[in-house]
Amino acid sequence: MLRDALPARPEARRQLVGTLFSSLGRGLTLPFLYIYLTEVRHLPGATAGLAIGWFGLLTLLLAPLGGTLIDRYGARRVVLPALALSSLGSGSLALVGTVWQAFASLTVCGLGGAAIWAGQNTIMTTLTGDQERQRVFGLQFALLNLGIGIGSAVAGTVVDVTRPGTFQFIYVADMLCYAGPFLILLTMPKVGRRLVATERAATGPKERRGYAEVLRHRPFRRLMLFSVLLTVSGYAQLEVGFTGFATKVAGASTQIVGYSFTANTIVIVVAQLLVIRLLQGRSRTRALMTVGALFATAWLVLGIAGYVDGRSTVVSAVGVIAFGGIFALGETLLSPINPALVNELASDELRGRYNALSSMVWGVSAVIAPVSAGPLLAAGLGGLWIILVATGCLAASAVAYSLRTLITPAQDGLPTPTPVPVLSPA
């Protein structure tokens, strides 16, 4: 199965190795930023949520510029400096001691992170063919989560809120991990160049193509609505909402939080290649509907861990870890489909912009999720928060269902029947 999922071009395989490096560093820090800022640096919970939300707002504001620069100058010239800035920002978090320093470090992280996702997806699209793209994006996500899971397991074992140096270690390690994709891309000088020589040559001197045209694309708008609902109610809740609820409501330790991310990774790594095969020739929108249902189920299981059987350590631990596994099942469906569908709808002239708007979903979510989850949890309204995120995931499923009528069967991933030749009468 692995051989079938690997891309044909060696450059694409090297990009996948870079993904593994960067995700290892991300895994070291992903579950612990809110805990680090509140329990180690003693920032108020609401302030920590606002600081993380500022990071999301900045990536949101800068993502359109990143997409324009990718289309105009090529992904290479955007991704390399973005990786360098992200490395600097992550390392500087190890030195945070005050509110303004936290905002400053997350600002640098936002400057780098605004264009990395769109640029790397644009690069991977140019290195893969139509028939293999969905499989490769799925494999990329499996490697991403493998790195995150390993990093989370290591960090969960190492970090200790009574020893700030353990948290400083993981942020310095995250900084060094960004060197992997940076050096790999640096050694491939022909990868990530501009896809179209001039936009005027393709569109004529009077026609202007840009974000206005992308936003007029109704199927893409519907896909973005699905992504916003799902991400606000899903992924973006992991750093603040999940960790805050798991530790403060369910009473789980930081080690259990780390093991939940490890369980998430194990499910993804074990199931992703099988899911990739099962998705071939099947409806993409139906799979997206299933993702929303699985995410909602995961949040409800987490809620049970916090409110059933009081403060039972066993129930809390099982519920928190089970959340990671159920959430992972939805991710294995989402990861191959979403980027493949975005790039199926995009054109080469505007591919950077399509991927930038897709990445903006994370910016929107990173603003809304921490600002909503932090105050609700601080006010003791964890149950209300669980209901809201589960409802949001189910709403995303409804939007995915409505997308089916706006795209062609080929775009939905369904096999196109071969036309039967009509014989003329003799």
Place of tokens 């149950």: 383
pLDDT given at position 312: 60
Give the 3-state secondary structure of residue 7.
coil
Is 202 part of a structural domain of the chain? no
pLDDT given at position 308: 67
pLDDT given at position 206: 45
Backbone angles phi and psi of 251, in degrees to 5: 75, 25
pLDDT in tens, 373-383: 878 888 888 88
Is 204 part of a structural domain of the chain? no
Which residue range forms the structural domain that includes residue 355?
10-195+214-406
Q: What are the tokens at 297?
A: 């189920």
- Of the candidates 161, 53, 49, 41, the residue with the CA atom closest to the CA atom of residue 101: 41
Is 40 part of a structural domain of the chain? yes
Report d(CA 185, CA 150) in Å as an integer: 23
Is 5 part of a structural domain of the chain? no
Number of domains present in the structure of the chain: 1
Is 4 part of a structural domain of the chain? no
* Contact partners, residue 23, CB within 8 Å, separation at least 6: 143, 144, 145, 146, 147, 148, 151
pLDDT in tens, 251-260: 888 788 878 8
Is 425 part of a structural domain of the chain? no
Please list the ranges in the chain whose pLDDT falls under 50: 199-207, 310, 426
Is 206 part of a structural domain of the chain? no
- Of the candidates 367, 385, 368, the residue with the CA atom closest to the CA atom of residue 376: 385
Contact 117, 62 (CB under 8 A): no
Whichever domain contains 282, its CATH number is 1.20.1250.20
Is 323 part of a structural domain of the chain? yes
Place of tokens 């080929």: 410
Gyration radius of the chain over CA positions: 21
Bridge partner list, 163: 160
Report d(CA 93, CA 90) in Å as an integer: 5
Report d(CA 82, CA 73) in Å as an integer: 14
